[in-house]
C-alpha cells in the first residue's frame, strides 16, 4: 500500500526523536475503529496522531511580502504539515524537539516532509490494512409445473452481515474529498480517517429476488 507524502508518491521522513520515544513507526493495522452508525472510522485510536506545522516552514523567509501584505509572504503561505504524537508519561524529550499539539499537550514529531533534494525514509508500501472480507449468499427453489416446464425462484444477498468495508490506505476519497482514506501528511482531515466503499458506502446489505419460468 502506498504511503502518500509530499509529492503523491513521495514518502515522509521518520524522525529520530520519534523513534527514540515510540520505536519503529507502525506498519500493520489489524482493525479499523468504527463507531456504530458513523460514516467514517479510523485506523488509529483517537488522539494517537495530530497534524502540526512542518518544521521547515519555520525556516521560510517572511520578508518577501507581496504588495506589502504580510499574509502573502512565503512563510505564511507554507502549508506543509508534519505528524506528531503526544509524549507518553515517563518519557522526556529535549525542549527544542517538543511541539505543542492542537489540544495543548506537548508532543514530538514522528513524520515530516523531506527537505528539497532529500529522500523520505519511511518507504513505499509500508502500511498494511486489516484486509477485506465480504459475505454474500444466495438461495433458489425450482418447482416443476408441467412436463418440460418449471418455475424458479431465487434470492441473492450482498453483504449479508452489513459489515462496513473500509477503503485501502492511500486510496482516494469516495465522499467528495471530505471523507475517505487519509494517510497523507498534507491534508486537512484527521490522519488515518477512512470512509466506506464508493458504492452505497460499503456497499450496504442488499437483496435481489428473481422469478424465472423455464420451458
Question: Can you point out the beta strands (E) in the chain?
Answer: 13-14, 40-42, 50-53, 81-86, 98-100, 106-112, 137-146, 149-158, 193-195, 206-214
Distance from chain centroid for Cα 182? 3
CA distance to 25, 51, 133, per residue, from 16 (Å): 11, 18, 37
Task: Say whether pLDDT at 23 is over 50.
Answer: yes
Over the stretch 137-155, which tens digit does the pLDDT of each residue have?
999 999 998 888 999 999 9
pLDDT one-digit tens code per residue, 97-108: 999 999 999 999
The cell numbers describing 75, all together, are 512563510
34-68: per-residue pLDDT in tens?
777 776 777 787 788 898 999 888 776 555 555 55
pLDDT at 74: 57
The whole-angstrom separation of Cα 75 and Cα 1 is 33
Whether 204 shows a pLDDT value over 90: the answer reads no
Q: Domain limits of the chain? A: 13-214
Amino acid at each position: 500500500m502506498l504511503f502518500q507524502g509530499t509529492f503523491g508518491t513521495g514518502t515522509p521522513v521518520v524522525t529520530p526523536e520519534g523513534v527514540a520515544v515510540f520505536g519503529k513507526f507502525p506498519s500493520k493495522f489489524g482493525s479499523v475503529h468504527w463507531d456504530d452508525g458513523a460514516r467514517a472510522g479510523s485506523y488509529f485510536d483517537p488522539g494517537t496522531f495530530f497534524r502540526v506545522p512542518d518544521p521547515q516552514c519555520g525556516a521560510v523567509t517572511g520578508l518577501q511580502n507581496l504588495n506589502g501584505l504580510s499574509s502573502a509572504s512565503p512563510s505564511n503561505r507554507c502549508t506543509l504539515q508534519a505528524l506528531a504524537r503526544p509524549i507518553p508519561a515517563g518519557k522526556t524529550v529535549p525542549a527544542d524537539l517538543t511541539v505543542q499539539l492542537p489540544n495543548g499537550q506537548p508532543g514530538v514529531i514522528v513524520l515530516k516532509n523531506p527537505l528539497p533534494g532529500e529522500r523520505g525514509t519511511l518507504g513505499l508500501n509500508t502500511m498494511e490494512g486489516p484486509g477485506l472480507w465480504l459475505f454474500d449468499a444466495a438461495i433458489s427453489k425450482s418447482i416443476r409445473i408441467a412436463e418440460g416446464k418449471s418455475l424458479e425462484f431465487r434470492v441473492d444477498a450482498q453483504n449479508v452481515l452489513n459489515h462496513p468495508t473500509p477503503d485501502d490506505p492511500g486510496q482516494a476519497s469516495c465522499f467528495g474529498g471530505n471523507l475517505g482514506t487519509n494517510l497523507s501528511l498534507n491534508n486537512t482531515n484527521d490522519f488515518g480517517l477512512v470512509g466506506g466503499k464508493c458504492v452505497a458506502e460499503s456497499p450496504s446489505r442488499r437483496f435481489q429476488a428473481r422469478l424465472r419460468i423455464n420451458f
